[in-house]
Amino acid sequence: MIPTLFSVGPVSISSYYFMGMLGLIGGFIFNYWETKRRGLDVRLSINGAIWTSIMGYIGARAMHIVFDGFLDIYIQKPLAMFAFWKGGLAFYGTIIFGLPTVVLYFTMHRAPILKYLDNYGYGIAFGVAMGRMGCYLNGCCFGDITSSPFSSQFIKYGLSAKNQFARDIILNLKDLPFPVFPAQLVAFTGNMLIFLFLWIFVRKRYKKDGTVFGLWLVMYGAFRFMIEMFRADDRGLFFNNMLSSSQIIAIITIVIGALMLYLPNEQTKAQGHS
Residue 229 has pLDDT above 70, yes or no: yes
pLDDT tens track for 92-118: 788 889 999 999 999 999 999 999 999
Question: Is 225 part of a structural domain of the chain?
Answer: yes
How many angstroms separate the CA atoms of 107 and 162, rounded? 46
Count of structural domains, the chain: 2
Contact of 28 with 51, CB cutoff 8 Å: no
Q: How confident is the model at residue 231 (pLDDT cuts 50, 70, 90)?
A: confident
Say whether both 165 and 52 belong to one domain.
no
According to the model, what pLDDT value does residue 270 have? 45
Question: Is 236 part of a structural domain of the chain?
Answer: yes
According to the model, what pLDDT value does residue 266 have? 57
Q: How confident is the model at residue 83 (pLDDT cuts 50, 70, 90)?
A: low
pLDDT tens track for 174-202: 888 888 999 999 999 999 999 999 999 99
Of 218 and 163, more confident: 218
According to the model, what pLDDT value does residue 272 have? 47
Say whether both 93 and 191 belong to one domain.
yes
Question: Is 75 part of a structural domain of the chain?
Answer: yes
Q: How confident is the model at residue 271 (pLDDT cuts 50, 70, 90)?
A: very low
Question: Is 92 part of a structural domain of the chain?
Answer: yes
Domain-terminating residue out of 134, 162, 180: 180
Question: Residue range 112-132: average pLDDT?
Answer: 95
Say whether both 81 and 186 belong to one domain.
yes
Question: Is 70 part of a structural domain of the chain?
Answer: yes
Question: Is 2 part of a structural domain of the chain?
Answer: no
Say whether both 215 and 159 belong to one domain.
no
Say whether both 111 and 153 belong to one domain.
no
Residue-range definition of the domain harbouring residue 33: 15-144+182-268
Say whether both 236 and 153 belong to one domain.
no
How many angstroms separate the CA atoms of 175 and 161, rounded? 8
Which residues on adjacent β-strands are paired with residue 11? 8
Q: By percentage, how much of the chain surpasses pLDDT 70?
A: 91
pTM check: above 0.75 = yes
According to the model, what pLDDT value does residue 177 have? 87
Question: Is 9 part of a structural domain of the chain?
Answer: no
Other beta carbons within 10 angstroms of residue 10's beta carbon come to: 5
According to the model, what pLDDT value does residue 273 have? 44
Say whether both 105 and 232 belong to one domain.
yes
Question: Is 201 part of a structural domain of the chain?
Answer: yes
Say whether both 257 and 188 belong to one domain.
yes
Say whether both 156 and 45 belong to one domain.
no
Say whether both 40 and 155 belong to one domain.
no
According to the model, what pLDDT value does residue 63 have? 81
Question: Residue range 22-29: average pLDDT?
Answer: 95
Q: Which of 230, 234, 231, 183 is nearest to 70 (CA)?
A: 234
Say whether both 99 and 50 belong to one domain.
yes
According to the model, what pLDDT value does residue 37 have? 94
Q: How confident is the model at residue 39 (pLDDT cuts 50, 70, 90)?
A: very high
Residue 261 has pLDDT above 70, yes or no: yes
Say whether both 167 and 101 belong to one domain.
no
According to the model, what pLDDT value does residue 84 have? 65
